[in-house]
Chain A
Amino acid sequence: MKNLLEIKDLKVTFPTDDGFVQAVDGVSISVAPGETVAIVGESGSGKTVTSLSVLGLHNRKVTQITGSILVNDKDKTLDIVSAPLDKIRSYRGRVVSMIFQDPMSSLHPYYKIGSQLTEAYLVHHPGQKEAANKKALEMLSLVGIPEPQVRAKEYPHQFSGGMRQRVMIAMALMNDPAVLIADEPTTALDVTVQAQILQLLKDLQKKLNMGILLITHDLGVVAQVADRVNVMYAGRIVEQGSVDDIFYSPHAPYTLGLLKSVPRIGSKGSERLKAIPGQPPSLINLPTGCAFAPRCEYISLAPENSCQSKRPDLLGTNDSHKSRCHIQEDKRDKTFTAEIKGARV
């Protein structure tokens, strides 16, 4: 089974007033059918920039993008990085769709949602108004919106937050895309609504066998829905593996740090959280060597001076679980797994 999406060595650079920002620095990710791949990171990690690159949404005149992003549409393959814009547009919303964080601002406030849905269909199937209308009502039912015929004639501001996100999902699925990119889809929603939406995404994925690329900063959400995880820091992937690998045997110090610092329900409330010291680095003045070195408490375990001088590569004895760190992998496996057992409930 071929991968639906393959990002290979993606690098994205923006010019700013203070210098060039290397927002994404050599990222490789793949998504298979029926698989949910998560990109986890904090602000400045490059996760959103990566997701926007897949749809070619950056301004090419300003942003420098290298590498390749291969999208497979049945038997055809397109490299988003090198393809002309009109070809990319034919893939947007049809082969790869995207939903965004804030559904209120992501839907056009002046158009009825029914027409926003049919528009998504008509741009790829011009002239087929009847089919578009039928599909729109179908999709609205599929995402759990009651009385679709009535609600299709309403405007976004007449829907609640959770409903709006359902509408966005319906709109993204109008053309049965192979891949759905979800950029922080539940961050702006209440926790009970978040549960509904995540359940909906999982159900739809099963039904349509689509691949989902999920961007988030919430480790709980990752644990709930992801199959494979990519942990990003300062524009680089620092760990890549199955969801169990990441949560039960993390190999990157940053991953371990995140897992230890997140408060968990059921843990002993009297203990202090094990916070990661310091702050994320500026992307303009990245330190030489490992980007996480200034905050890493395991530097002593690595060979002398390697962390500050040399950038570690993304490696792993197991091809499906890779990480970026100079410390020997088996040493990490032992130490980190023990630590994470202690932190878990």
Chain B
Amino acid sequence: MPRFILRRAYFATLTILLVSIVVYGVFSILPFDPAALTCGQKCTPAIVEANRIKLGFDKPLWEQYWLFLSGIFLGRTYGAGSAEFTCPAPSFGYSFNENTCVTDMLKEALPVTINLAIGAFVIWMVVGVGLGLIAAKFRGRYPDTLSSVFVLLGTSLPTFVTGLFFLIYVTIKWKIVPLSLKGYVSLTDDPVRYFQYFILPWLTLAILYAAFYTRFTRATVLETLGEDYIRTARAKGLSEKTVLLKHTMRAALAPITTSAGLDIAGLIGGAIITESIFNLAGLGRMTLQAVYEFDLSVVVATTILAAAVVISMNLIVDIAYGYLDPRVRIK
């Protein structure tokens, strides 16, 4: 098993590297001058040229990429002489618009996104898998029908509709959840504020995913219930509860885990719409802003980060699958 992990880790690293090359390459080919974007209205060619040299855009492409890559491990120094400044390792670049190292921006935005993703994940897994299980057990009867209504609504309503609904009605009109004007607080600092900040964005995301997982779980459980080994379990005299929760869920766990891992990985890339609606200072909103403002360093960094998360999650999920399904293990 450890050999299997090593093999996959090796290929995962290679893939991340490849992705970084491709992303960097794509952004560098874009038909506008990155240096020209660094200053706002009061731009002169002299400033543009100075910035170009400062940010290293005058160097050949491969050297730029190399500086970028090495910056992640060693930090990167921009400019020369008195105007010199360093973004310490890990450096993902420098944002002129915000006048900070990208890494610092990431440090601020990442916890928000991670909290958002994990919170929503917990809610949607509990609701989705639970409801799916109930729907499968009571197939054809009213719990199943009700859950399919929920599934239909959840998958058809786009996040901006549910999000806006929550924002406009629950927060503003009905004042059930107060408007979070203060921004992000961590769970440990102020639990009440923390929940107020996240509860509606969590629900917005969770409704969509829970609906999907209800349907997915129901289908997987029903499929498993038709297997011969479930008949054997009943023939041994096991109670329906044990048959369902121990034997059936154990088998259904593998595909559900795989899917869940990949979904949460995608979410960390940034739930752009939800973050925008609720004005959460996460990766998604950061990326969106950077796109509007042509802040290339930020966009490159967040893209590569999102890709790295997805690739790593793929690896973790594959390893987990090996634990869940012994037939797949390499001996």
Asked if B229 contacts A106 (CB within 8 A), the reply is yes
A-side contacts of B325, CB under 8 Å = 109-110
Asked if residues B237 and A91 are in contact (CB atoms below 8 Å), the reply is: yes
Known contacts A94-B237, A123-B237, A124-B237; is-contact A157 B327 (Cβ 8 Å): yes
Segment among A26-34, A76-84, A96-104, A131-139 that sits at the interface with chain B: A96-104
CA A265 – CA B250 in complex, angstroms? 48
Could you name 10 residue pairs across A and B whose Cβ atoms are closer than 8 Å?
A: A55-B235, A57-B234, A90-B237, A105-B228, A106-B229, A108-B229, A109-B229, A111-B250, A119-B238, A120-B237
Q: A123-B236, A155-B326, A157-B326 are in contact. Are A110 and B231 (CB under 8 A)?
A: no
Chain B residue contacts of A111, Cβ below 8 A: 250
- Whether B235 lies near A98 (C-beta < 8 A) is yes
- A interface, size bucket: 20 to 34
- State whether B228 touches A102 (Cβ < 8 A): yes
**Which residue on A lies nearest to B236, using beta carbons?**
A93
- Residues of B within 8 Å of A105, CB to CB, are 227-229
Instruction: Collect the chain A residues with CB atoms within 8 Å of residue B327's CB.
Output: 109, 155, 157
Within the complex, the shortest CB–CB distance from A342 to chain B, in Å, comes to 42
Task: Please give the residue numbers on chain A whose beta carbons come within 8 Å of chain B beta carbons, in ascending order.
Answer: 55, 57, 86, 89-94, 97-98, 100, 102, 105-111, 119-120, 123-124, 155, 157, 168, 171
Specify which of A108, A120, A157 is in contact with B251 (CB 8 Å cutoff). A108
Task: Say whether A57 contacts B237, CB under 8 Å.
Answer: no
B247: CB under 8 A from chain A?
yes
Q: Is the CB of B235 within 8 A of A97?
A: yes
- In the assembled complex, the Cα of A91 lies from the Cα of B227 at a distance in Å of 22
Nearest B-chain residue to A171, judged by Cβ: B236
- Determine the distance from Cα of A57 to Cα of B231 in the docked complex, in whole angstroms: 8
Chain A residues closer than 8 Å to B251, beta-carbon distance: 108-110
CB within 8 Å of A: which residues of B? 227-229, 231-239, 242, 247, 250-251, 254, 324-327
Count A-B pairs with CB separation below 8 Å.
Answer: 69
B236 touches A106 (CB 8 A): no
Interfacial chain A residues near B239, Cβ < 8 Å: 86, 89
10 A-B pairs besides A108-B250, A110-B324, A123-B242 with CB distance below 8 A are A57-B234, A89-B238, A91-B237, A100-B228, A106-B228, A106-B229, A109-B251, A109-B326, A111-B250, A155-B327
Known: A108-B251, A111-B250, A155-B326. A92 touches B236 (CB 8 A): yes
Tell whether, in the assembled complex, residue B237 and residue A100 are in contact, meaning their CB atoms are under 8 Å apart.
no
Q: Which chain A residue lies CB-closest to B325?
A: A110
Measured CB to CB, the nearest residue on chain B to A121 is: B236
Most-contacted residue by chain B among A55, A91, A94 (CB, 10 A): A55
Q: Which of B237, B247, B324 contacts A108 (CB 8 A)?
A: B247
- Name which residue of chain B comes closest to A86, CB basis: B239
- Once bound together, how far apart are the Cα atoms of A119 and B228, in whole Å? 17
For the complex formed, measure the closest distance between the CB of B91 and the CB atoms of chain A, giving whole angstroms: 45
Chain B nearest Cβ from A3, distance in angstroms:
21
Q: In the complex the two chains form, is B228's CB within 8 Å of A93's CB?
A: no
Quote the shortest CB–CB distance from B249 to chain A (angstroms): 11
Q: Specify the chain A residue showing the minimal Cβ separation from B329.
A: A155
Minimum distance in angstroms from A92 CB to a CB of chain B? 4
B234 and A92 within 8 A (CB): yes
Least Cβ–Cβ distance between A56 and chain B, in angstroms: 9
**Nearest CB to that of A109 among chain B residues?**
B327
- Smallest Cβ-Cβ distance to B248: which chain A residue: A108
> A109-B325, A110-B250, A110-B251 are contacts. A92–B229 as well, Cβ < 8 Å?
no
Chain A residue nearest to B229 in the complex (CB): A108
- Chain A residues contacting B233 (CB-CB under 8 Å) are 108
Report chain A residues within 8 Å CB of B235: 55, 57, 92-93, 97-98, 100
With A110-B250, A110-B251: A100-B232 Cβ-Cβ less than 8 Å? yes
In the docked arrangement, what's the CA distance between A90 and B274, Å?
53
